[in-house]
Chains A and B, each alone.
Chain A
Amino acid sequence: MSEEKKTTRRGIAAAKSLKKLMADYFYEMDDAAKTGSRKIAWCTSVGPAELLRGMGFLVYYPENHGAMLGATRMSTDLIPYANAMGYSPDICSYLTCDVGSYLQKKTPLTMAYNIESVPRPDVLVFNTNQCRDVQDWFAWYSRELNVPLVGVHTHRDIGDIRAYQIKDIASQIEDLVPGLEKVTGEKFDMDRLKEALGHSRRTSELWRACLEAAAASPSPWTFFDATIHMAPAVVSRGTKAANDYYELLLPELQQRVKEGVAAVEGEKHRLYWEGMPIWGKLRALSEQLFSLKSCVVASTYCNSWIFGQLDPDEPFESMARAYTELFIVRDEPFKEQYITDCHEKFKFDGILFHDAKTCPNNSNNRYGMPERLSKKLGIPVLTINGDLCDLRCYSEEQAKTNIEAFIEQLEER
């Protein structure tokens, strides 16, 4: 395998608008926190954001902050402060780095936007569809800031989704309304919820189309690009701003497909990324795979912000379905079939499983899935040990060697 080479890539032009969208998002939030002009809800990434938007909240996502702490590599220094308070190094490193960030009064928002701190919440809203850690995370802030904590408890490890599950989750979401009305001081307006759901549904459609552009060979973009460009689908879900962004990005990707622009020059291998990103190593991994002419064309992670079930005509039920049908909520057979379907669509020739030390719910290598999928799909798999934010759990040299050996293995086929 030849030495990694520095290479130039044709950047995605829409990135400029992405920067502006993110800056506007944080400035609006910062202003509201300082002036009290709008109520602010903190929400877990797949919490009931549409409801919150529909009730007039600005919505802040601590997981997005965790990803920023990871990407700026501030997280590894901040995690120990939460550990010292009794939050184990083995639990979610989004939680521990975010709490450490609060304790140390350090945030990447300062460097990026000259914003002193994250916005103070008026309410904390979780959904346990991802894991229990999000609830514990928000509970810490609830105690610390004396802010109300509400949430949805999702059924987990689901195969076929049953009517009783949807009914339960829909009721739980609806039950949030009176408490949230107390925070906003305004009556719930169904039309505003439907409007937010409409925006969110459109965002999902556009985001799905963007991701599916990578089915082209060569792929016009990579998983590493998508982890950045997914930001509007995460933080601006339920707003027109997110749709405007993807209305811009999608034609650009389609044009790249038309012109045969390859994200990875001379694309030889197509891979699937299963599990969390290693936020502090996105660039290093992207560059290594680029030098090995290997493109990560699809991932479970980026697909997790597609909420195809949202329907303004069935607000609460469709939210319940959308939040429940997610990969992370489902059982092993569903997950295997999901990746099998992705294989059919994206035609990848290997799977990289990231075993994130502090994220068991999003590490799908732990119950024999790599071996089963390798056999079923007839493609090799590799597990990389690491973490989303805690780089103490990551051996870069070992990961690089493993990836290089994996590509050698693909070349022998």
Chain B
Amino acid sequence: MTDKQPETRNLKPATPLKSGSSTRNPLFAGVDVGASRTKVAILDAEKRLLGHAVRKSGIDFTETAEICLKASLNMAGALREDVASCVSTGYGRKNVLFSDETKTEIGCHARGCYHYFPMAMTIIDIGGQDNKVIKLDNQGRRLNFKMNRKCAAGTGAFLEEMSMRLGIPLEEMDSLARKSEEMVELGSYCTVFSGTEVLEKIRQGKKVTDIVKGLFFSVIKRVLEMDSLTDRVAMTGGVVAHNPILVEMVEEITARDILVPEYPQLTGAVGAALFAMEDKK
């Protein structure tokens, strides 16, 4: 399955090379093997995003990374030997056989986000199985970071579980939530308890649209309680990429304009590719 990248704000894609053409210029690959999805980004020396791919990580991280690399190079019209350096990140970073180095996803998200927004900021990354709140100074150095604790509340896994319980395709949740007129509030920390709460709301006759918006609100609450927000705030990650309503809701709750990179789901992969470039210098 290929994950389609949704349209997002600030979208400034690099001009891709013509299909079938090949570059002899050095390219830099970033591979982010997340618990849910594997992402690859190919940058050229001018830091332009020439190719990218997203696939379900599945059970063979090595193979999935390989498939994503091929797809990304194909999109870039490049050959494997054009890749001068590669850095891998994410839970499966050590399963990427072709990478030259590994970095943590915290470092790569910070690096990728700072590339798009070179300023002091708080990054909120909502991933498939973990959330991160990372604070950067105006030089892009990490001041502090926090990951969600043991449970998956507030992550993509929570939304996946709820979409299954409600029998709603994951990709329809964003549009359903937008139709909500009276959001249902869910109180529990725990995914299992939230599931029970949702059943109770259904029993009470609440509208599915209102429940779905409540699920998104629950995700936001879990994330915002992880740390304070300082300086500008940016949001990244697959959950943000596929559910832009989350960004709008955070803007409303916090009364802040939220920054979102061009491909929120690729932020870690882009950061990894930037590290690959720096390592080669």
Contact = CB atoms under 8 A, between A and B. Distances in A.
A409 B105 contact: no
Interface string B131-156: 00000000001111111011000000
Interface string A363-404: 000000000001000001101010000000101011001101
A313 interface: no
B98 interface: no
B144 A374 contact: yes
A408 B150 CA distance: 22
A401 B104 contact: yes
A20 interface: no
Interface string B169-204: 000000000000000000000000000000000000
Contacts of B150: 385, 393, 395, 398
Contacts of A409: 107, 141-142, 145
B221 interface: no
Q: Is the interface of A mostly helix, strand, loop or mixed?
A: helix
B104 A385 contact: no
Given A374-B144, A393-B150, A413-B141, A401 B94 contact: no
Contacts of A380: 143-144
Contacts of B149: 385
* Size band of the interface chain A makes with B: 20 to 34
B147 A408 contact: no
A412 interface: yes
A406 to B, nearest CB: 8
A408 B103 contact: yes
Given A2-B101, A3-B94, A402 B147 contact: yes
Nearest to A374: B144
Nearest to A382: B145
Interface string B98-131: 0001111111000000000000000000000010
Nearest to A398: B147
Contacts of B107: 405, 408-409
A161 B143 CA distance: 37
A38 B91 CA distance: 55
Nearest to A393: B150
Contacts of B94: 3
Contacts of B142: 405, 408-409, 412
B130 A404 contact: no
Contacts of B103: 1, 408
B130 to A, nearest CB: 7
B112 to A, nearest CB: 14
A3 B102 contact: yes
A408 B104 contact: yes
Given A374-B144, A402-B147, 5 more contacts: A1-B101, A401-B147, A408-B103, A409-B145, A412-B141
Nearest to B227: A371
A401 B145 CA distance: 12
A3 B87 CA distance: 12
A404 B104 contact: yes
Nearest to B145: A405
B144 A405 contact: no
A398 B102 contact: no
A36 to B, nearest CB: 47
23 contacts: A1-B104, A2-B102, A3-B94, A374-B144, A383-B146, A385-B150, A395-B150, A397-B91, A398-B147, A401-B91, A401-B104, A401-B147, A402-B147, A404-B104, A405-B104, A405-B142, A405-B145, A408-B103, A408-B104, A408-B106, A409-B107, A409-B145, A412-B141
